[in-house]
Structure formats: C-alpha cells, structure tokens
C-alpha cells in the first residue's frame, strides 16, 4: 500500500495528518539458517514487500494502534501498563518495541500509529521484524533518539524475545533495518559487523523465486526453542561459548567429542548443521564477490539438505517446492527462514521462470496441497522514511 493511502487513512482515523510515514521491509535469507543464535553468519536481503506506518507523537503516555490488515477499531494502550506477556495479538509487536525503547531509558511519551503491510504473514519472510523495525525507526526519528540501525535492531529483537516471547535471533530485525537495494547483507551476528555484498540478479540474467507454501509457521511454538536449546547444549558439551567457535576443519573432532551415545545423536546433527552452514555462508560470499553467481546454486541446495536431514525443520511442502524447482531446472533451491512451513527460494535462469513456476504449482495441485504463492524477489532497500 502506498504512503499516500496510509497517510490519508491515518488522517481519517485520528483527525489530523501524521507527522511522517516510514517503511520497513520483510526479507529473504539467501543462506545462513539458524546460525544467528549461535553467533554465526547470515546473508539476508530485503524484499520489496514492506510494512508502512504513519505515525505522530503523543505526550500523554498513550499508544494508539490501528492496522489496515486486521479487522477492528483503534487499540489504545497505556505506556505505563505495558509489560511482557500482556498482549497476545499483533499489537504485541509495536507495543513491545515501545516497551523496549522505554525500558532502555529512551524518552518515548506516546504515539498514534496506522499500519499497512504487504509482507505475507506466517510465510517465513519476517513480517513481524518489519513491523517492529518500522515502529522503532519512526519513534527514533520523531523523538530524536538518533540510535544507530544495529541498536534499533537489537531493541526490536528484545521486544520479540521478551515482550512477545519468541526466542529468535538478530537476523530478521537487522535485515529489515540495514539491508540495501541490490545487495545481500553479510552479517556476523557475534559482533554485528556487516558487509553489503552486490547481488544484482537481473544483470546476470538470473531470478530468485520465492515459493510461499502457505503452511503457516510461528516461532513462539516449541520447535524453534528446542533447536536453540539443543545448539546451546552442544556448545556447552564442547566447552565453547557458541557453536560459531567450532571451526569447519574441527568438525569431525567435535562430533567425535560428542560421542556416539543415542542421546548425543540429535546434538551431533544440530552441531553439524550449524558448522557446515556457517561455511556455506562464507562460500556464498566468496562466490558472489568473485562474480560467480551461478555457482551459489549447489551451495543453497546443500543448505536445504542440511536443514531437512540434520536440523530437521523442513516439511513436505517445502521439500516438494525445492525438489520440483530443481527438477524443473533451478540452479539451486532451499527453504528460507525459521522452517516448519513458510517459504522456499529457487535461483533460476530468467528464461526458466515460467516453466519452474508452472511445475511447482502443478506439483502442489497433484499432491493436494493448498496452491502456493510464487513470486520474484528483488533485493530492495531497508527501512527508511517515506515522507
Ligand atoms: C527466524 C528467526 F527470527 C531468525 O532469528 C532466525 O533464527 C531464522 O528464523 C532462522 O535462520 O526467522
């Protein structure tokens, strides 16, 4: 939805024009899955799909929220009453950001907000991070906080971890806050150092397709937390701060150290995924910076096998999307995001896009799955003020 429409709706709802309009995008993760809470590497890029927010300041300690995407009236919350676990619907994300900003000592005294999103929800494309980041950026601007982008991302992550109660890492919020058009973001989640890696698919005659399987996922459910706990157990057993500290060359020794007991098998699989996935991110960075874009395909596909077999977070629809895309000529394909549903991505020659899309749609129909949503992902700008 355009900035003008969001501005007009805000004016209708609140009786005065907003002070400004901001946008923050969803993301696709190219490679580096579940590595972010292991201090590892990730490589997302921003989608053109975004959350747009019209916002004005208030001085009376009240937060008013309205979304074009959710039925219902304006929701009114008192800032002093905001506390983790008190909201269990979409308002927890913006309210959580306000809570996190205030808890960190930033003088936010209230706001009126109207939102509209084009990021599919529950599709593994970071609709919640986009919602958090657009609020954080708007309040940062309006209250003159002047926080660096990485810090806004950290506060949004805190909102999600503590206020909403989802034990996620830092990737999605940083992607939404820091990505740049035409680039993928190589992020070291240990020290948050970043490199913008040029990723201009069109110039190479390539396309990246997203297949939203329409299988909804949620990170506040138990499986994401179980994987995280398993990785932390692996790090503790290996005597390292985080699995990031297990070198690729030392993987065999680490797996041996974990032993072969039945109950060690799961931790061994998790460790193997994280260590090999960090290596895959480095590999993709090397290939992209040397201009060998097509060669990242097999690395992406290898990442899918690791998520399916070692991390065990794929599902039949994601596997079908990946297998069908590969059989129809994709250079590489993998699930993207947290898993247990959501989206897959496929890298393909521009000339193969129609065949591939048709093949995936037909395979889903034949398997009796809900029709997937297939679209092209173009590396787009990160969060910004629109007016
Ligand atoms: C979700 C989480 F929010 C991220 O922090 C990350 O762990 C991702 O799953 C898996 O890579 O999107």
- Does domain 3-197 sit in CATH 3.30.230.10? yes
Any residues with Cβ below 6 Å from ligand 1, and which?
A: 29, 33-34, 36-37, 168-169, 171-172, 219, 337-338
Nearest-angstrom CA–CA distance, 11 and 182: 34
Active-site amino acid positions: 172
336-349, pLDDT tens digit by residue?
999 999 999 999 99
Residue nearest atom 8 of ligand 1, based on CA coordinates = 338
> Stretch 179-195: mean pLDDT, rounded?
98
Ligand 1 atom nearest residue 128's Cα: 3
Feature table: binding site for substrate? 33-36, 224
- 8 A C-beta contact, residue 304 and residue 322: yes
Do β-strands 206-212 and 332-336 pair in parallel, antiparallel, or remain unpaired?
A: unpaired
Which residue's C-alpha comes closest to atom 9 of ligand 1? Answer: 338
Per-residue pLDDT tens digits for 257-274: 999 777 799 999 999 999
The Cα–Cα gap between 311 and 303 comes to 10
274-296 pLDDT, tens per residue? 999 999 999 999 999 999 999 99
| Ligand 1 atom closest to Cα of residue 170 | 5
The token duo for 320 is 């079908």
Atom from ligand 1 closest to the CA of residue 32: 11
- Tens-digit pLDDT profile for residues 107-164: 999 999 999 999 999 999 999 999 999 999 999 999 999 999 999 999 999 999 999 9
Say how far apart CA 346 and CA 359 lie, in whole Å. Answer: 12
Q: How far is CA 113 from the centre of its chain?
A: 23
Question: Cα of 251 to ligand 1 centre, how many Å?
Answer: 23
Residue ranges of domains in the chain: 3-197
Structure-block tokens of residue 142? 């309006």
């Amino acid at each position: 939805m355009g900035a003008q429409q969001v501005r007009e709706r805000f004016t209708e709802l609140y009786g005065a024009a907003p002070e400004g309009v901001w946008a923050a995008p969803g993301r696709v993760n190219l490679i580096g899955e579940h590595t972010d809470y292991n201090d590892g590497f990730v490589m997302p890029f921003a989608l053109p799909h975004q959350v747009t927010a019209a916002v004005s300041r208030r001085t009376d300690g009240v937060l008013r929220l309205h979304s074009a995407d959710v039925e219902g009236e304006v929701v009114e919350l008192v800032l002093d009453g905001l506390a983790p676990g008190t909201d269990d619907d979409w308002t927890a994300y913006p309210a959580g950001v306000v809570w996190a900003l205030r808890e960190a000592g930033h003088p936010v005294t209230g706001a009126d907000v109207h939102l509209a999103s084009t990021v599919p929800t529950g599709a593994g494309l970071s609709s919640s991070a986009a919602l958090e980041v657009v609020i954080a950026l708007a309040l940062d601007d309006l209250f003159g906080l002047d926080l660096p982008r990485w810090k806004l991302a950290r506060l949004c992550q805190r909102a999600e971890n503590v206020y909403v109660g989802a034990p996620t890492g830092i990737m999605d919020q940083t992607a939404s806050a820091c990505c740049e058009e035409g680039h993928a973001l190589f992020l070291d989640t240990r020290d948050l150092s970043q490199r913008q890696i040029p990723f201009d698919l069109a110039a190479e005659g390539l396309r990246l397709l997203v297949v939203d399987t329409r299988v909804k996922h949620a990170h506040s459910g138990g499986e994401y937390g179980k994987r995280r706990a398993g990785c932390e157990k692996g790090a503790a057993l290996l005597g390292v701060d985080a699995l990031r500290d297990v070198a690729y060359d030392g993987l065999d020794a680490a797996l041996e150290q974990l032993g072969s007991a039945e109950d060690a098998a799961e931790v061994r699989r998790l460790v193997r995924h994280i260590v090999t996935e960090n290596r895959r991110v480095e590999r993709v960075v090397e290939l992209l910076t040397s201009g060998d874009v097509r060669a990242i395909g097999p690395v992406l596909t290898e990442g899918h096998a690791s998520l399916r077999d070692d991390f065990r977070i794929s599902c039949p629809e994601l596997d079908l999307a990946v297998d069908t895309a590969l059989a129809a000529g994709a250079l590489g394909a993998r699930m993207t995001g947290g898993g247990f549903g959501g989206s897959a991505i496929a890298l393909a020659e521009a000339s193969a896009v129609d065949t591939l899309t048709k093949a995936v749609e037909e395979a889903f129909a034949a398997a009796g799955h809900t029709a997937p949503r297939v679209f092209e992902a173009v590396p787009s700008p990160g969060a910004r003020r629109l007016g």
